[in-house]
């Protein structure tokens, strides 16, 4: 029965009233089947906030930087560090080459800001120490020159997913061109890294904006020059990637939550009650926890039922505008008594599976995990400013005893499968998006029918 029709026919009942005889509150269906009526119940769930111990930010395929200001999270500052590549297959300028111009390309994938009508600033600095072949986390940092060699003011009001090219001529880039002509530091990747360890991206305070750039050929320097015999310019790139090879990079994220509800969010793996609001923020390890125990209490009162539709709804969200959108999808990851994310033996994040999909492994009874199956995702609907997803099969599996009920941590990620190749798009590590809602705005809406027992 369509949800709108059901809403038109039935009254919303509390949990207590739903435990009465369903035949007194339902609607008689086909007398030839063995289902009696359809009942509706709305179950409120509680939400809290959990801080992860640390977050691995090595090679997320995004440069995440900028300064985000929020009354709930405080001031969050992202700084992105990356190596550079030169292309050995591209001929270097001759010793007598003339520099025409230097450009810097930014492959911008997203921008989050309270207001995009004003220009936003990106600064590019010189890294002063090398990025090593180790894992870097969101608390790691390296020394860099605080004075940028490039400061670009960008008008991003029309598009926030585009490649923007700016002039990058400076004393530094002129010197690089002269050294490029001599070639001493461009013999191999090791001498090049000694010469130029890398670059660092930062934003500025007051912009209240954060950026997500894609590393590769289209983010980095391009030198345009002419050899003696040339009538048109040639190009020589020094970029954050060559062809399909992306330079090693990581993102540092610093939080200053002074004077905000998250100021006391210091100890990892503890579920914090922050009052009447909760929220999660990408790249910070701040996750929302949903306590699903009221669902179990309700299921324990039922016998011989069929679930027609179960929907989890969160929101409306607070404070999001079109230029500062929340994550589009949230994975409902299982958590344990220690408030940690739970993984399968082969390293897959265990989470709620989609409606009509496999929910558990019949051999082990553990939650089902398969890289090729997209998990159930809470999806953001901008018109209503809320997240929703149908969990009918999931709840039915819990009621049957095939799946153990677990609390949930909301994690910003999703998977894509193209021609059999699986890509896990871990958006939690790719931007500084966030979402906030009232802690009592989490509801399970359940339509169910009682089955006759003869």
Tell me the C-alpha distance between 246 and 346, whole Å: 26
pLDDT in tens, the chain (454 residues): 444 333 333 333 333 333 333 333 333 444 455 556 899 999 999 999 999 988 999 999 999 999 999 999 999 999 999 999 999 899 999 999 999 999 999 999 999 998 899 999 999 999 999 999 999 999 999 999 999 999 999 999 888 899 999 999 999 999 999 999 999 999 999 999 999 999 999 999 999 999 999 999 999 999 999 999 999 999 999 999 998 899 999 999 999 999 999 999 999 999 999 999 999 999 999 999 999 999 999 999 998 899 999 999 999 999 888 889 999 999 999 999 999 999 888 888 899 999 998 998 888 878 988 777 789 999 999 999 999 999 999 999 999 999 999 999 999 976 655 555 555 568 899 999 999 999 999 999 999 998 765 5
Q: Which two tokens stand for residue 28?
A: 């008689």
Tell me the C-alpha distance between 283 and 252, whole Å: 9
Q: Which two tokens stand for residue 133?
A: 């072949």
pLDDT at 15: 37
pLDDT at 453: 56
pLDDT at 9: 32
- The residue ranges of every structural domain in the chain are 3-44+276-451, 63-256
Torsion of CA 139, 142, 143, 148, to 10 degrees: -90
pLDDT at 167: 97
Does residue 271 contact residue 46 with C-beta atoms inside 8 Å? no
Q: Which two tokens stand for residue 68?
A: 């985000």
Q: Which pairing describes strands 162-167 and 98-113: parallel, antiparallel, or unpaired?
A: antiparallel
Does residue 295 contact residue 443 with C-beta atoms inside 8 Å? no
For residue 316, whether the previous peptide bond is cis, meaning omega lies within 30 degrees of 0, is yes
What 3-state class would DSSP assign to 182?
helix
pTM of this prediction?
Answer: 0.88
pLDDT at 423: 54
Q: Which pairing describes strands 386-390 and 305-314: parallel, antiparallel, or unpaired?
A: antiparallel
């Amino acid at each position: 029965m369509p949800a709108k029709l059901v809403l038109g026919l039935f009254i919303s009942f509390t949990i207590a009233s739903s435990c009465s005889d369903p035949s007194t509150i339902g609607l008689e269906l086909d007398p030839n089947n063995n289902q009696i009526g359809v009942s509706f119940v709305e179950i409120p769930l509680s939400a809290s906030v959990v801080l992860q111990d640390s977050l691995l930010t090595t090679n997320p395929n995004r440069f995440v930087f900028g300064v985000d200001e929020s009354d709930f999270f405080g001031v969050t500052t992202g700084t992105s560090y990356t190596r550079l590549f030169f292309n050995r297959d591209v001929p270097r300028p001759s010793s007598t080459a003339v520099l025409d111009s230097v450009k810097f390309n930014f492959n911008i994938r997203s921008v989050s800001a309270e207001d995009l009508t004003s220009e936003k600033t990106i600064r590019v600095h010189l890294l002063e120490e090398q990025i090593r072949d180790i894992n870097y986390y969101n608390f790691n940092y390296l020394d860099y020159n605080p004075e940028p060699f490039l400061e670009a003011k960008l008008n991003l009001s029309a598009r926030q997913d585009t490649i923007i090219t700016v002039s990058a001529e400076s004393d530094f880039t002129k010197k690089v061109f002269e050294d490029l002509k001599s070639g001493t530091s461009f013999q191999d990747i090791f001498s090049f890294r000694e010469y130029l360890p890398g670059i660092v991206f930062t934003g500025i305070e007051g912009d209240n904006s954060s950026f997500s750039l894609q590393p590769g050929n289209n983010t980095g320097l391009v030198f345009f020059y002419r050899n003696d015999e040339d009538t048109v310019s040639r190009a020589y790139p020094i970029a954050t990637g060559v062809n399909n090879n992306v330079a090693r990079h990581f993102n540092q994220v610093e939080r200053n939550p002074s004077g905000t509800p998250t100021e006391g969010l210091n100890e990892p793996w503890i579920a914090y009650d922050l009052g009447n609001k909760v929220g999660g923020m990408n790249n910070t390890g701040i996750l929302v926890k949903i306590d699903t125990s009221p669902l179990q209490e309700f299921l324990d009162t039922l016998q011989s039922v069929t679930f027609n539709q179960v929907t989890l709804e969160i929101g409306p969200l607070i404070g999001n505008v079109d230029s500062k959108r929340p994550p589009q999808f949230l994975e409902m990851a299982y958590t344990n008594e220690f408030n940690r994310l739970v993984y399968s033996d082969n390293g897959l994040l265990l989470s709620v599976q989609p409606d009509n999909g496999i929910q558990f492994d019949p051999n082990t009874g553990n939650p089902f995990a398969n890289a090729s199956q997209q998990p159930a995702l809470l999806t953001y609907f901008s018109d209503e400013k809320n997240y929703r997803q149908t969990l009918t099969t999931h709840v039915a599996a819990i009621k049957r005893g095939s799946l153990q009920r677990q609390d949930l941590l909301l994690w910003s990620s999703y998977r894509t499968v193209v021609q059999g190749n699986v890509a896990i798009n871990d958006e939690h590590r790719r931007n500084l998006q966030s979402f906030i809602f009232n802690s009592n705005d989490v509801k399970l809406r359940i339509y169910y029918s009682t089955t006759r027992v003869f």
